[in-house]
Each structure stands twice: as C-alpha cells, then as structure tokens.
Chains A and B, each alone.
Chain A
Amino acid sequence: MIFSSYPYLVFLALTLVVFCALEDRLPGLKRTFLLLISLVFYAWWRVDFLALLLGSTFINFAIGSAITRRFAQGRSTRALLVAGLGVNLALIGWFKYAGLFAATANDLLALGVPIPHLFLPLAISFFTFEQISYLADAAGGRAPRYSLIDYTLFVSFFPHLIAGPIIRHNDLIPQFARIRSADERSDDIAVGTTLFTIGLAKKTLIADNLAPFSDAVFLATQHGAAISMSDAWMGTLFFAFQIYFDFSAYSDMALGSACMFGIRLPMNFNSPYKAASIIEFWRLWHISLSTFLRDYLYIPLGGNRFGSFRRYANLFITMLLGGLWHGANWTFMIWGALHGVYLIINHAWRKFARAFNLTAPPALQPFAHALSVLITFTAVVFAWTVFRAGDFSSAHRLVSAMVGMGGESHLLTFGPLAMGAFATLFALVWLAPNSMEITWRLKPALETRYKDAGLRKTRWQWAPSKASAIGFGLLFIVSVMALSNLSPFIYFQF
C-alpha cells in the first residue's frame, strides 16, 4: 500500500479509529491490533511474502533471544551472532543480489550460471538491516529480552515497514507500552496529521510533477540518445529535486502516521541540500541509514581508530556497501563509491585546513558558506546521474552531455517556466524551513543521533490554530485531488 494512495488513507483512518477505541477500553489489545493490522498492510502487496517476513522475524527473534540468554550467562555469543548474520545476509543476498552476481560472473568469466529471476520482496533491505542491528546489540549486551509480539511489531510496524526509517529495537519497543492521556493523544494526532499533510503535498504536488521531466531525459539516455548539455543538466536537476521531495515526503508521511499512534520514529531527513559539506550531507540525508552504517559497519571495521589510511579505507568500504544496499545494480555501488571518495576528500581537506589554520575572515564567512553549499550540492547532483542512470553507458552519455560532449536534443525547454520552477525549488530546499523544524514544538520524531546536526530555529513554527487548521485542511484536500496511482515512492524499490 503506497502512502500516497486512497487505500492507504482509508486504511489509516480506520486503523486509527479502532486503535483509539482500544486505547480507551482495552489497552492490553492495542499492540496485538497494531501487529495484525501491520501484517494486513504488508499482505496487501503480496500475501505470499508475508511468510518470508514472518519467517525472518521468528528466526531472528529465536537467535536474538538465545544470544541474550547466553550473554546473561556470560557465555560466548559469537557463533550465534555469525549464524544470525549469515541467515540475514543469505536472505537478502539471494533475493536481492543473486541475479546481479550470477549475471556479472557470466559476463566476466563466461560461466553460464543460470540467472535467477526472483521477485524482490518488498522492504527486505529495511527489515533485514533492522534485525541485524538487533542481533549485534544482543551480542553486545545492549538488547533486553522482548516478547514475541513486541519484537514482531518492531519489525513490521507499518509506518516504517516498507521504506524506513531504519529503526533500532531499543528506540521503538519501549514506546509500545506508552499510555497516552486524552490530551496527548489529541496532540499526537494533530501533529501527525499536519506532518502527514506536508508529506502528501510534497509527494503529489511537487515530486510527482517533476518525475516526467527527469524521466524523459534519463530514459532517453537509456535508449541510446545523445542528449544536449541543457537537457542533461535540467534532467539531472529535476531528478535531484524529485528524489529530495519524494524521499522527504515519504519520511514525513511515515513519521506522521506513526505519531498518530503515539509512536515516534527517528528523524530521517533534515534539509540535506543545505549541507555545507558532504560530511554534513550524510548527517542530514537518510539519517537512519547513515547512522546504521556508521554504528554497524564503519565502527566495527575500525572507524577512525587506526590512523588516516584505515579511516579512509573504512569510509570507502562503508559507502561502497551503502551504495549497493540501494539495489542490485553496479551503478548504485559506483554512486556509493563516489560518495566514499567525496567523504575522503572532505575529511582530508578538514585535516589540511586545521593543520594550516585555514579559515575565512568573518566578513567573508557567509560567502564561504554559500560557496560550500553550492559545491556540496553540485557534487551530490553529479552523483545522482549514476544513481538514476540504470547502466554505465547511460551514465556515461549523461555525464558527457553535462560537460558539453553530448548531442543535440530538445527534450526540455529552458524557458521562463523552467526558470520559475527551478527558482521555486531552490528557494524551497535552501531557504524554507523543513517539516521537522515547522512541527518540532510537539516533537513528532526522535532526535537525530548526530549531536551536531540539530534543527535550525524558524519563525514558521506550527501551532494548533484555526488558520493553520483551515490551511492544512485545504492543503490536504488539494494534495488528495492530485493523487496518482502510478507514482510509488522511489525508495520503495530498495
């Protein structure tokens, strides 16, 4: 069920009504109800893969419980942890990457291995990572024993199930026991509804309307067209804005939905295009993924504990695998590698600047900051070409066109309309407050784990008032009227 669809709106409304009734009369049943309804949500897509989701959940629960027990007894948990990680990696490896690896082996070594054409189970990348973090925490003594219902609900809670945020067990499970007063419930539903509306508007009024322009350019390159420089830049910029609004819309709608049920999910998106460095970008973009990669891959690899070279190597490996996590295509890995290189350059530059005490004079600092934002944005946009291209030759065609070595095409017109659209989009991503900043008064999300990547203060803070209720009510209906059945979220495919 896509969040921006009529079935989901009906599903959400009915679920919320029943949940509130249970909260008042039978609070003991609300977890079971949420679990059942989450499984219905998943089964709406394909009922047969429900067995896979539940199977994975039960196996991880069993292994995690055993690890917790052994840890409490002071016995080694290593073998169980390795087994658990093996099961999860085998599952995601088989369903997501087997086809890619087999095809690549055939291409490189002419092995003639049969290529499995498997249907990718929805959300497998997300629920696998969440369970890996649980097993790792259990082995480190950081996971208490949970009931099966709590654990299954942690994995399958519908607002985060399909496309994140990637949530930690100890962030979510303790919230299931929360008892809300009537006032707290009203606050939760009010802020959740507002956040959901902002997300819905971003999706249906902005992201979906940018998609045809970026699709036209990227699909043309996939079909071998030599496009012009202007088309290449406009198509890539449109995609950069499309994925920004699409993913932030999804995050807002996920967080808003969870809020209505009294659950706070982690903040996942915090105006990443305002970042003045790639390091900052990754503290603001898909925050739950970057913190997962930091805590469960980068730090276990050694992090920054063994000198600069190891640190850079660890960064590169982390980003490489983070890229591949997005999908079974080497272009994602190259995208990750590009960001790995960006991060290495960024860290090296910081070290260099610190060593030589390079800082802009106070009067020039706003300009230096603006330049840094522009350079960061350009680097991110450039990397999106590989991310979206689909294959290397298309990416090559697109990048060639961006540097003026393309052909002649007139897919998009750089006229007053396009200029107005870009001016509006840049103003929104660089100057406007984000949805978290607007609604933070009622804290609709868990705070980011990055201590220095907090929210900026804004005068546009939302508070319940008649004017805001009418405004958001109108925005909600206008967004609903623009719903499209053909535009799932980009991150659903991961």
Chain B
Amino acid sequence: MDSRRYLLWFFGVAGALVTAAVAFNALADAYILRHRAGASVQLVSGFERVLKPAWLASLKPSMVFIGSSRARIAFDPTLVDPVFGVRSFNYGVSSASAYETRRYIQDVAHQPFVKTIVVALDAFTSGSAAQPYGGGFDELRLSVTAAGTPTPRRDLWLFTARYLSGGALGMHGLGVWLLAQLAPGELAADRPDVFPEYGHMTPAKFAHELTRRAERTMRMTGWQREQLDASLAALCSSSAQVYFYFPPDNMALIAHYRANDSQGFSAFKHAVQADVARHNAMCSNKVRLFDFMNENSITRDDAAARGRPSPYYLDPIHIRPPTGLLLLQQMLRGHGVIGTEVKTQ
C-alpha cells in the first residue's frame, strides 16, 4: 500500500470515529437533558466530573447543590423542582475534595442565574495538598480560575469535554442506558432497581458499612480549612442565597467519629462556625449554617438495626433523595425541625 492510501485510511477511520463520537455525545446529551427523568442522571456516579460543568452551563439552574456523594445522592432535581418551583442542579461529585468543592463554589458563585447555593460541608474534610482533586477533574471547564479570573478559552474546553472526551462517552452511555430502562411516565424514584440511589438501607448493608467505616473520623486539616475560607471569599460578592449544612450521617456513624477523634469532630464544627461567623460579619451576602450531623429524627433512624429497611438512608452516610427534600424544607422554608440552625451572627 502506498502512503497516500495509508493516510486516506488513517484519516478516514479517525474522522469516522470522531464523527460517531460527537454525534453520539450530542444526541445522548440532548436526550438526557430533555428526558423527563433526565435530571436524575445527576445522582449517578461515573464520569460526572467531566460533564457536570457543561451541564451547568447548558441548564442555567437557579438552585445548585454542591458537595460529595452525600450531596450527589441527596438531591434529585426531579423531586426538588416541583416542590420549590425552581430549576435545580446537582453539582455533587463522588469523593469530592475540599479543593474541588471550593472550585465548584467559585464556579457557581460566578453565574448570575444561580440564586440559591446549598453546600454539604463534609467535603471540606477530604483531600490534601498532595491530592487536591480526583480523576477527571479539570478546572479549565469552570467559569473562573482559582484566582477568580475568567478561565481563558473555556468554551473550547467545555466543547471538547462534552463531545470529544472518553469521560463524556462513558457518562452519556451510562445516562442513556439508565433512562432507556424507564417505562413511559416512570421516574427514577419508581425504579430503585435502575437508580440504586433510591434504594433503602437494609440491615445487611447497615452492618457491612458500619464495619467498613469503623475507623472513620470527621476532622478538618489546615489545608482543607483554607479551601473553606477561599469558598467563603468567593461567596462574599455573590448575590445568591447560601446554605451550608453538616449532613445527617447516621448516629451509629457519628458515634464512630466521636469515639475515633472526638476532638477533631468538634473542632471541625467549631472551625466552620467561626469561619462562617467571620464571613457574615464582613460580607453583606450572609451564609446560613445548619447542623444535621447531630441527634435528630433522621439520624436516630435505627430501622436497619432492627431488621427493617430504612426510610431515610441508602447507607449510614448517604440519605435518600426524599430525605434530602426534608432537609431543604427546613433550610429554605423553615418547615419541620430536623437539625438546628447554627447562630453565626
């Protein structure tokens, strides 16, 4: 074969594959974003770090949830939106580090269409300067740099992430596959076999997770606190209403935190309270702080310990989306008394 024919075949194959990938990603993206239950794909773990910045830019939501898998699983826009009359977006990512959380907060605080920001604080106890972010995270996709200036050529990075990345192929493929299994009219909440985020914590899962997480602590390092303070600084000039909350880990797990590192656990809460109080004293845009990581009607749930599926939990640290709705009811509307609002002014 001569080189000319080789090049024709090479570029033919490459061109065909690129076209196929772009076409699939474009069609799948439109399908997910327009599907009645499409927003529930935001609850799914996969390559969410690749696509969520692009989805945020497309959906232009008025309410955004940020945090680790605790936030990712807790808030389903298909449940939240009709109740609060908003378009919400779940920006939670698995094992979010403090740095990633800070960067997502910076990203969202820079968007004029975002009116409400809800942040799960446990993410500020993850990550280190040695490992600041997880695989697939690329801050060029965010609207601002870490220094707060607009990201150069962001549209290009969003385009390539959405249509030309392996992560997009994976996340789109997963999303389409999940949604395709729903019958007409069904939502994710109707099919916990397809969307396991809607499952219930069973006694076996409860026991297994408690054993697996027996050494767990909840403490914040100096580096992680720097990320929290950088997040608060980014929110100072934002016009969005901001809610920080300590997520409602099950009491059985909170007992582990206390037993393993009681001082670190209370220091974490005090540090957040002090930093939010300082922010509120300096900035016109106040942050409201809620503590659900204490003994309350959700965290006391011991159904699984008594051999029944839990109504609130997927496992001891992840609450189900309907439970997330209860938290929002208290934080945004003052309905119900689950956790406590922490005084910061």
Contact = CB atoms under 8 A, between A and B. Distances in A.
Q: Do A and B belong to a common assembly? A: yes
Interface residues of B, number: 33
Contact of A483 (B5, B18, B160): B160
A186 B13 contact: no
Given A464-B6, A466-B9, A481 B130 contact: no
Interface in B241-256: none
B139 A486 contact: yes
A193 B7 contact: yes
B166 A482 contact: yes
A220 B165 contact: no
A480 B157 CA distance: 13
Nearest to A485: B140
Of A6, A191, A473, most buried by chain B (CB within 10 Å of CB) is A473
A466 B7 CA distance: 10
A477 B21 contact: yes
Contacts of B113: none
A486 B9 contact: no
What DSSP secondary structure best describes chain B's contact surface?
Answer: helix
A470 B9 contact: yes
A464 B5 contact: yes
Contact of B18 (A186, A216, A477): A477
Nearest to B223: A223
Interface in B14-47: 14, 17-18, 21
Interface residues of A, number: 38
Interface string B248-267: 00000000000000000000
Contacts of B6: 190, 464-465, 468-469
Of B7, B8, B11, B153, most buried by chain A (CB within 10 Å of CB) is B7
Contact of B13 (A189, A219, A469, A485): A469
A222 interface: yes
A474 interface: yes
Contacts of A189: 3, 7
Contacts of B7: 186, 189-190, 193, 469
A482 B13 CA distance: 17
A7 B160 CA distance: 10
A220 B128 CA distance: 9
Given A464-B1, A465-B6, A477-B21, A215 B11 contact: no
B135 interface: yes
A189 B6 CA distance: 10
A223 B128 contact: yes
A7 to B, nearest CB: 7
Nearest to B18: A477
Interface string A196-239: 00000000000000001001100110110100000000000000
B136 to A, nearest CB: 9
B3 A485 contact: no
B130 A216 contact: yes
Given A189-B7, A464-B5, A481-B169, A215 B138 contact: no
6 contacts: A7-B156, A183-B3, A186-B3, A464-B6, A473-B11, A476-B10
